[in-house]
Chain A
Amino acid sequence: MKTEPNRNPPQIALQSTGPKSHGWLLGLLAFAIILITWEVLARYSGWSVQIFPDPITVALSMVEMCLNGTLLRHTVASLFRVTVGFYLAVLIGVPVGILLGRSWSVRAFFNPVFHFLRPISPLAWIPLAMLWFGIGDPPALFLIFLASFFPMVVSTTIAVQNINPTFFQVAANFRFSRKETLIRLILPAIIPDVVNALRLTVTIAWLVVVAAEMIAVQSGLGYLILDARNALRMDYVMNSMMVIGLIGLLLDYVMKRLLKIESALWGVKSR
């Protein structure tokens, strides 16, 4: 006799982790420890404020940068570039991924090239990007696009290939047209995987934008870091780094929220 697979295995408390709602307090504690260590180091290491600024100096210049709008302006510039480059990569990468996932011959044709190009760091493209696209936004956008495009294509391809083949037979049985197969089967089937890929890829794009802005533009957080270094203002460098970290957290949080939309996930366990 067969029994139904157990859908809800009993929850076993493997560890006593305490109340989970207080988890963020521990996280905050880690930051506090870093802050104290930083202060102690700054005070007793003997380094000058120019080389190793203490937390108070950094906080004061942070207030200054916020008030005069420098930080906001550069942050907006960076976010703009990431958004454009990332959107372009998603808009082109997902359809290409679907094509690759569905067609054996397209895959056989493109896959070797993609797998050859993928491990090349986008930063290696900097000289070419500057030569081809000159100075300004285009080379930076190109680099962000490159950094996000390949991961999106690869994830989408794998997602399409992982669709249960039974679904395609159901579609054939119910006489789905090509368009219906795409809209009612392939797209909804890959959404959970694609959203996951978006989350990973936006992090990569955010990493690359800083590097891209160090080369060809006059704005953005990457430029701010470079400019502050030239002016020997390490407090500005640290401020920029903090803002980069905070925005990275924020982007990840937004993508995580996307992962919680239930209708898009049709019961796939959130990872």
Chain B
Amino acid sequence: MSHIRIENLSKMYLGRRSKPRSLHDPAEQSGDNVLVLDDVNIVIEEGEMVCILGPSGCGKSTLLRIVAGFEFPSSGAVFVGNQPVRGPSAQSIFVFQHSGLFPWMTVAQNVGLGLRHVKAEEAKQRIQDHIEMVELDGFEDYYPHQLSGGMQRRVELARALALNPELLIMDEPFSGLDFLTHMKMREEVVNMHEFIRKTMVMVTHDIDDALIMGDRIVVFSGRPATVKLVHKLDFPRPRDFERNPELSRLRSEIFLMLGVPYAV
């Protein structure tokens, strides 16, 4: 059964800048509405991990925010589990690009944020389980500012998963991490997905991330964003560009598509 259906979705913003953003596009004049997403159609299956790629500023994040219910489409509709999205829901948890952890709460309190209505005993157990899952046991009483960037991201993941949501929405979850932490986190998220099999939608600007992690990738064009390519990735994990010439070829193709003709 399909989990998310995005149907003919368009999003416009009221243009506020006094000068047009691009000189090449005379239609984008001051006071005009700026079209960010143009007739986007995507179907995401239950348990699938979909990675969305596209040039920066193209509206990928806007799409995620609409799916999460933080923003509303100008036309078209988004259905999650056959229900139209009407606002934020505890069933679709958004993992923020920059830390969305509450800095005044400890790790344990943050992870327990979604478990306020669960009985104390059970909540305690679930908090502990999820802290252990992201390998942060011992850090329960630390405040976010006492943790490294990578640890903060893992707490945020634990907080999202503790609620056991049907859908996980991630907006560039690895941005700002150092190279090794990035690699480790990527591996952890892939393993976690294999393990819990929840639907995940992830925006990234890292083509390698998308190709290594995704069950499917969606490539957007620049503004206004339209779906340029949808590609199913039937490669066994762990994936390796050297052992998979097909994957390598796809990588070059996407680089080209996003305007980098010669990828190193």
Contacts and interface: CB of A to CB of B under 8 A. Distances in A.
Interface string A1-30: 111110000000000000000000000000
Contact of A267 (B88, B143, B175, B177): B143
A4 B179 CA distance: 9
Contacts of A266: 103-104, 143, 145
A169 B145 contact: no
Given A174-B114, A188-B104, A3 B178 contact: yes
B143 A5 contact: no
Contact of B163 (A3, A167, A174, A184): A174
A267 B98 contact: no
A173 interface: yes
Interface stretch (B89-97, B229-237, B240-248): B89-97
A173 B103 contact: no
A167 B102 contact: yes
Contact of A166 (B87, B96, B114): B96
Contacts of A191: 104
Q: Is the interface of A mostly helix, strand, loop or mixed?
A: helix
Contacts of A5: 149, 176
B148 interface: yes
Contacts of B114: 174
B68 interface: yes
Contact of B90 (A3, A173, A185): A173
Contact of A173 (B94, B146, B175, B178): B94
Contact of B102 (A3, A172, A188, A263): A188
Interface in B56-85: 68-70
B100 A167 contact: yes
Contacts of A185: 102
Nearest to A265: B104
Interface string A239-267: 00000000000000000000000010011
12 contacts: A2-B182, A4-B178, A5-B149, A166-B96, A167-B102, A172-B88, A173-B92, A174-B113, A175-B90, A184-B102, A191-B104, A267-B146
Interface of B: 68-70, 87-90, 92-94, 96, 98, 100, 102-105, 113-114, 116, 143-146, 148-149, 163, 175-179, 181-182
The list of the 10 closest CB pairs from A to B, nearest first, reads A267-B145, A188-B104, A266-B104, A172-B88, A266-B103, A170-B100, A4-B178, A173-B88, A175-B90, A166-B100
